[in-house]
């Protein structure tokens, strides 16, 4: 949350043992003793609030245009437009304040000043258009990136929570295999003879048990049966089968695997069963590395976007203070020139020209099964 708290939903009427286990787990995750406080009921994310604000401001823009067309008073038009400007630009204003607190001149600062300046000048259509444009495009960008992430992961992070671990071998002696012979002898009490037996036939059986994946360690042996998801990276030591490698390599036909072949977590064993020796579990698996790569690729912007952001860092303070200089030296009798320059110099289209196509292209590629290594690769 905004005040650096973690929002969690607690189970009502939980038992004492469950509460203690929960607190221990939170302590393990965060490294500090958990302290609970009642949170505000805020079930909407910032991007959802942004979309709602833009949706409310859009019909208000139509009312403002209609009110000016029929010649209503400037004050009435302002009263109609002001709620739309406030609601539509609320998230933008919050981001601008956060940017200023961090001593950064983000583009939200300039767009916020453009909206405020347009409102002061009575240019309500311009104020609403900027607020709506920023709200909708920012939401579309975030939504496209989210869909791209889901498509790129392709369900790869659906690792099973349990594994079928092989327990210690059991030795079974077949009674029917005991026959008189010249093998080893057992002395019989109070008698002068001995009973000779042949070494019995030994049957070795391997039992399995379902254990949480957290208890599996490298070197353990696990069994995977036909149609099951592989819970950990491993090397086949018994059996043979076919492995569906489509999520990792795109191969549409299952690949035959046998003794000594390596299999990766997250894939499906199309035909089995096999017994494998675990090589890597959890964050050490190849699957985990691919998911981390997907996340980092998703956040890598194109070089053009990085250049525009550097330009914005110079342009925003230049416009802010340059407007005061122009008013002081060229138009000293009209202070509104400051607001006018803020409005006309707001590069909304330029600022949104790269992130939105970047997000759309990532999403489009992901739905076609292509993992793109960030916007830089797309740009090239």
pLDDT at 278 over 90: yes
| Residues 308-364: tens digit of each pLDDT | 777 877 888 888 888 889 988 888 888 888 888 887 877 767 767 777 777 777 777
| Mean of the per-residue pLDDT values of the chain | 77
The phi, psi pair for 203, rounded to 5°, reads -105, 125
Helices (H), the chain: 16-30, 46-69, 74-88, 90-101, 107-120, 124-153, 246-249, 286-299, 303-329, 336-344, 348-352, 355-367, 374-379
Instruction: Look at residue 345 in the predicted model and tell me its pLDDT.
Output: 79
Where are the domains positioned within the chain? 162-289, 293-379
Instruction: Look at residue 29 in the predicted model and tell me its pLDDT.
Output: 87
* Higher pLDDT, residue 142 or 156: 142
Distance from C-alpha of 94 to C-alpha of 131, rounded to nearest angstrom = 13
Name the CATH topology of 162-289.
Answer: 2.70.150
Q: What is the mean pLDDT of residues 75-92?
A: 88
| Residues 161-202: tens digit of each pLDDT | 888 888 865 444 444 544 444 444 444 444 444 444 444 444
Q: What angle do CA 287, 213, 256 make, to 5 degrees?
A: 50
pLDDT band at 154 (very low <50, low <70, confident <90, very high): low
Distance from C-alpha of 110 to C-alpha of 126, rounded to nearest angstrom = 14
Q: Tokens at residue 152, please?
A: 């790129």
Cis peptide, bond prior to residue 273, ω within 30 of zero: yes
Q: Give every CB contact of residue 64 below 8 A, 6+ residues apart in sequence.
A: 77, 80, 81, 84, 124, 125, 128
Tell me which range, 125-134, 242-251, 367-376, is most confidently predicted by mean pLDDT: 125-134
**Residue 154 DSSP code:** T
Helix (H) and strand (E) counts for the chain?
13, 13
Q: Is the pTM of this model over 0.75?
A: no
């Amino acid at each position: 949350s905004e005040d650096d708290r973690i929002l969690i939903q607690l189970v009502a009427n939980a038992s004492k043992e469950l509460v203690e286990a929960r607190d221990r787990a939170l302590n393990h995750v965060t490294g500090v003793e958990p302290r609970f406080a009642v949170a505000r009921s805020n079930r909407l994310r910032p991007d959802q609030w942004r979309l709602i604000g833009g949706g409310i401001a859009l019909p208000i823009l139509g009312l403002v245009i209609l009110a000016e067309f029929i010649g209503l008073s400037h004050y009435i038009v302002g009263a109609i437009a002001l709620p739309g400007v406030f609601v539509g630009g609320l998230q933008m204003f919050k981001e601008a304040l956060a940017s200023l607190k961090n001593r950064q001149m983000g583009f939200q600062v300039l767009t916020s000043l453009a909206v405020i300046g347009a409102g002061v000048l009575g240019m309500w259509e311009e104020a609403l258009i900027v607020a709506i444009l920023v709200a909708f495009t920012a939401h579309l960008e975030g939504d496209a990136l989210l869909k791209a992430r889901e498509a790129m992961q392709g369900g790869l992070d659906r690792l099973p929570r349990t594994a079928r671990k092989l327990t210690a071998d059991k030795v079974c002696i077949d009674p029917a295999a005991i026959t008189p012979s010249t093998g080893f002898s057992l002395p019989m009490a109070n008698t002068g003879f001995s009973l000779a037996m042949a070494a019995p036939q030994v049957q070795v059986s391997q039992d399995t048990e379902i254990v949480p994946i957290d208890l599996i360690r490298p070197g353990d042996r696990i069994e995977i049966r036909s149609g099951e998801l592989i819970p950990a990276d491993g090397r086949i030591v018994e059996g043979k089968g076919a492995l569906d490698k489509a999520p990792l390599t795109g191969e549409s036909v299952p690949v035959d695997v046998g003794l000594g072949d390596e299999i990766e977590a997250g894939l499906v064993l199309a035909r089995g069963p096999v017994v494998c020796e675990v090589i890597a579990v959890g964050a050490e698996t190849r699957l985990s590395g691919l998911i981390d790569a997907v996340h980092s690729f998703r956040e890598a912007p194109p070089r053009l976007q990085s250049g525009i952001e550097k330009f914005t860092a110079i342009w925003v303070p230049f416009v802010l203070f340059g407007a005061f200089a122009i008013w002081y030296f060229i138009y000293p009798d009209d202070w509104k020139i400051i607001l006018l320059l803020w409005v006309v110099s707001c590069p909304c289209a330029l600022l949104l020209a790269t992130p939105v196509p970047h997000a759309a292209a990532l999403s489009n590629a992901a739905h076609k099964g292509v993992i793109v290594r960030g916007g830089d690769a797309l740009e090239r």
